[in-house]
Amino acid sequence: MSGSTNKRVRVLRFDREAIDGFVHPQTFQTLTGVEMLSRDGNILTLPYQEIKVLCFVQDFEESLPDLNNRTFSSRPKSSGLWVRMSFRDGAILDGILPNNLLSVEPHGFTVTPPDLAVTPQRVFVPRVALRSIHVLAVVGSGLGRSKKPDERQISIFES
């Protein structure tokens, strides 16, 4: 997440209605939960146990598609770790996690979900919301291995 301004979020909770508000991207995670400013100006701290997904949204008026059982239909093109998260309620969500493990937050994972055209650009998933998280593949590792020429191949010109 870039920038120092507050970001719009929609918090989807287990067995409760969603909450819209604003978070500061560097400081929204506290020891006890997610700290946010609600749309009516109240500062809330939502416990991680209540949160299923925190969606970073462009506009509060847009309706979010159902994030339950959202998986990539083919291998993703973005580089990173392709992960599959299984939630406590049985839902499944795929995402791309940054390949730099130092950027993994202590209280959860910020991933890029599938189908960016209709879903939030990024979502934060608390660790306690998950039953499991599996790495399916490393996409675009960027190692760029150069292939050595086959020494058995004769060259056309002498060097």
What amino acid occupies position 149?
Answer: P
d(CA 129, CA 50): 8
Name the pTM for this structure: 0.80
Q: Are 99 and 80 spatial neighbours (Cβ–Cβ below 8 Å)?
A: yes
- Note the pLDDT of residue 70: 80
Domain regions of the chain by residue span: 7-59+69-139
| 20 — pLDDT class (breaks 50, 70, 90) | very high
pLDDT (tens digit per residue) in 56-115: 988 888 777 677 778 787 787 888 899 999 999 999 999 999 988 888 888 999 999 887
Residue 129 pLDDT: 95
